[in-house]
Amino acid sequence: MISSFMGSINSYKDLLIWQKGITLVVKVYQLTRFFPPEELYSLTNQIKRAAVSIPSNIAEGYGRNTNKSFSHFIDISRGSLNELETQLIIAKELMYITDIDLYNEILLLIDEESKMINAFCKTLKN
């Protein structure tokens, strides 16, 4: 069971990977605010959906109450993280990104979240 290794974790909101995922969503929404209007229902929407998927799948997996199921949803979060990074690179190449400092901050967050998710997943699978 999940609770056997989490100790003082009472909610998915206590998980650092979920908290960092929420921070990532907020930063992504700030970054995409100035994308071209014609991208609102295409790349902008895809980027936002990938970002939101990260903490959402962590929360859903936590609620499933088994390590195997939780691990599956963590894997989905990892995939969304990679998808987000790819979409942001595309947006930068298309010159939609005007705030390079925020873009670089988000890339650092993605890298940190990726490392945290990988470590957490190893713990879950052991």
What pLDDT, on the 0 to 100 scale, is given for residue 8? 66
**Mean pLDDT along residues 58-77:** 92
pTM to 2 decimals? 0.91
Rounded to the nearest integer, the mean pLDDT of the chain is: 92
Phi then psi dihedrals of residue 58, to 5 deg: -65, -45
**Mean pLDDT along residues 109-122:** 95
Phi then psi dihedrals of residue 63, to 5 deg: -70, -10
What pLDDT, on the 0 to 100 scale, is given for residue 4? 45
Decide which of 82 and 2 is more confident: 82
DSSP 8-state assignment for residue 37: G
pLDDT in tens, 6-34: 556 789 999 999 999 999 999 999 999 99
Given a contact cutoff of 8 angstroms between Cβ atoms, the answer to whether 52 and 28 are in contact is no
Q: How confident is the model at residue 1 (pLDDT cuts 50, 70, 90)?
A: very low
Percentage of the chain with pLDDT > 90? Answer: 79
Decide which of 6 and 69 is more confident: 69
